[in-house]
Amino acid sequence: MQLHKHCCVTRKVGAGHPLAGKTVYIPAMAEGSVEALCAVLRWMGIEAHPTPPSDARTLELGSKHTSGDECFPARITTGDFLQIAQQPGFNAKHTVFMMGTTDGPCRFGQYAPFLRKILRERGYGDIQVLSPHGEHGYSDFQDFDTAFVRMAWHALVAADILRKLLLQSRPYETLMGEADRAFRESLEDLCHTLEQSCSNSRCQMSSLTASLLRARARFHSVPARFDGSRPLIGIVGEIFCRLNNFSNRDLVRRLEGQGAECWMADIAEWIAYTNLEEVRNLRLAGRAYSWEMIQSKLRSRIQNADEHSLRSLFVEDFVGYEEPGIEEVIGLARPYLPFPGAEGEMVTNLGRSAYLAMHGVDGIVDISPFTCMNGVVSEAIYPKLSRDYADIPIRNFYFDGQQSDLDRDIGIYFELARSYRERKPYQRSYPSRFSWQEENADMRNYGRSSGRCKPWH
Ligand code: SF4
């Protein structure tokens, strides 16, 4: 189905490209984002898929080939990649596994070398491990051109928006499964749009805008009752565990099941942070006036403008859920972990937690892998941050693939969030779709409450 009339031809890599004729697998970190990224690779003419859904075998394989010292996401991704390698007819020479990397204080920089080592030891040394680097804002996809990087950014921002729409509507749906359906259909639409996109950036943006507006219409038609009674829980934490439902045992859905609405930190925040780090590192290396610095600043500027343009379609929907700029996040973290003395997700966790508290959330949950350095440092500072923000309840949930009574723990935490809600000094702003509550309150005053549902607009 052709959804948009393009003015230029679809972009393809040539037969001489190192990835031509190969299949790229990307870890299924976040539902939506990874499918969208794969669609961009297919737009380039490269076969790409997310790793298949994780299951018990993922944990079994991951545990068998790790020592227990590795971070939980390393175990999950290793297990998922090995499952692919063990499929009948698997061709190592035609396979590429994507595994990002970075320098810096935590163990993420070890994931790619570790994966290469395991693959070599298991006889899969022919598999190529593609490793974009966080120090360059994940922009160095080998010799792909800037068009790919820009399109990948569009894909990630659009997927963040779809996830936000899902989290905003699912807790309030009156017909179970409708919000998930709207998300799935919108994601399919987005992937198709990205894959069929043309090489003219203006035309790209216009087809993407049309796709997001269709998504908006789908979510608006989800039957829902926005009654404002649900506590809003901000979700921060380690990026993989926070976004990967298998790793965190569907914590967000469980919170929703207890009566919460969740506001999750998205992927774009991390990319913006790595862009900032890139500039800082160039300065430290005495390359403040270099070609790399110009490239980095230009990329950030274009990314900001494109993100703003896509998010501006949802200004009304996202009233009260506005995303902070990365400078604001870092500024809010400064009293606790002064950047750049401290770096990484602990900085964004703390800065965002302060931002969320000030914007009226009723509690904050940090989702991290067990023994995650960022999670442990953040946990040590949360009590102080909580005191500074009217004793807002902040709770770390750690995951390592073991079973525990998660629903009981969520229930206990949720009671704290409910009681904070009654006394919090920071009020939320609500989008207009919640206005039916006030109308109903007026009607109740006259003893005529209709209890009707209202669409988003
Ligand atoms: S952020 Fe935590 S889980 Fe992720 S690599 Fe670093 S230490 Fe490991």
- C-alpha of residue 98 to centroid of ligand 1, in Å: 17
pLDDT in tens, 307-324: 999 999 999 999 999 999
Which of the pair, 8 or 111, is modelled with greater confidence? Answer: 111
pLDDT score, position 346: 94
pLDDT at residue 7 is higher than 80: no
For residue 317, give Cα distances in angstroms to 138, 219, 338. 30, 10, 33
How far apart (Å, rounded) are the C-alpha atoms in residues 250 and 326? 27
Q: Is the CB of 238 under 6 A from ligand 1?
A: yes
Q: For ligand 1, pick from 78, 238, 247 the residue to mutate: most ligand atoms within 8 Å of CB.
A: 238
CB 244 within 8 A of CB 73: yes
For residue 339, give Cα distances in angstroms to 265, 275, 345, 354. 19, 14, 11, 15
Residue whose CA is at the smallest distance from ligand 1 atom 2: 372
pLDDT at residue 24 is higher than 60: yes
Q: Which atom, in ligand 1's list, is nearest to the CA of 73?
A: 3
pLDDT in tens, 110-149: 899 999 999 999 999 999 998 877 565 555 555 566 788 8
Q: For ligand 1, pick from 99, 108, 400 the residue to mutate: most ligand atoms within 8 Å of CB.
A: 108
- C-alpha of residue 132 to centroid of ligand 1, in Å: 17
Q: Which of 91-100, 170-179, 396-405 has the lowest mean pLDDT?
A: 396-405
- C-alpha of residue 42 to centroid of ligand 1, in Å: 30
pLDDT at residue 453 is higher than 70: no
Q: Is the CB of 70 under 6 A from ligand 1?
A: no
How far apart (Å, rounded) are the C-alpha atoms in residues 263 and 377? 22
Q: Which atom, in ligand 1's list, is nearest to the CA of 71?
A: 8
Cα-Cα-Cα-Cα dihedral sign, residues 385, 386, 389, 395: positive
CB 400 within 8 A of CB 375: no
Task: Give Cα 429 distance to the centre of its chain.
Answer: 23
Rg (CA), the chain: 22
Q: Which of 101-115, 264-278, 314-328 has the lowest mean pLDDT?
A: 101-115
- C-alpha of residue 129 to centroid of ligand 1, in Å: 19
How far apart (Å, rounded) are the C-alpha atoms in residues 404 and 254? 14
How far apart (Å, rounded) are the C-alpha atoms in residues 394 and 204? 41
Q: Is the previous residue joined to 223 through a cis bond, with omega within 30 degrees of 0? A: no
Residue whose CA is at the smallest distance from ligand 1 atom 5: 108
Burial of 416 (0-12, 13-18, 19+ CB in 10 A): middle
pLDDT band for position 176 (50/70/90)? Answer: very high
How far apart (Å, rounded) are the C-alpha atoms in residues 181 and 257? 18
pLDDT in tens, 334-350: 999 987 788 889 999 99
The one-letter amino acid at 378: S
Residues 6+ apart with CB under 8 A from 241: 72, 73, 247, 248, 367, 368, 369, 372, 399
- C-alpha of residue 424 to centroid of ligand 1, in Å: 32
Q: Is the CB of 29 under 6 A from ligand 1?
A: no
Q: Is the CB of 109 under 6 A from ligand 1?
A: no
pLDDT score, position 457: 46
How far apart (Å, rounded) are the C-alpha atoms in residues 400 and 371? 9
Look over the chain and give the mean of its residue pLDDT values, rounded to a whole number.
Answer: 89
Long-range contacts of 198-202 (CB under 8 A, 24+ apart): 198/6, 198/7, 198/8, 198/9, 198/10, 198/11, 199/8, 199/9, 199/10, 199/11, 199/147, 200/6, 200/7, 200/8, 201/147, 201/150
pLDDT score, position 17: 79
Q: Which atom, in ligand 1's list, is nearest to the CA of 107?
A: 5
pLDDT score, position 141: 58
Q: Is the CB of 277 under 6 A from ligand 1?
A: no
The one-letter amino acid at 215: A
Question: How many Cα atoms are found within 13 Å in the side-chain-facing hemisphere of 205?
Answer: 15
Cα-Cα-Cα-Cα dihedral sign, residues 253, 258, 261, 265: negative
Provide the Cα torsion 322, 164, 37, 272; round to 10°: 20
Residue 226 dihedral angles phi and psi, to the nearest 5°: -90, 90
Measuring CA to CA, which residue among 268, 293, 410 is closest to residue 348?
268
How far apart (Å, rounded) are the C-alpha atoms in residues 372 and 443? 51
Q: Enumerate the β-bridge partners of residue 398.
A: 368
Residues 6+ apart with CB under 8 A from 107: 70, 71, 74, 373
pLDDT in tens, 332-391: 999 999 877 888 899 999 999 999 999 999 999 999 999 899 999 999 999 999 999 999
- Average pLDDT, stretch 70-93? 95
Residue given tokens 């659009």 in the structure block: 158
pLDDT band for position 437 (50/70/90)? Answer: low
Task: Give Cα 231 distance to the centre of its chain.
Answer: 22
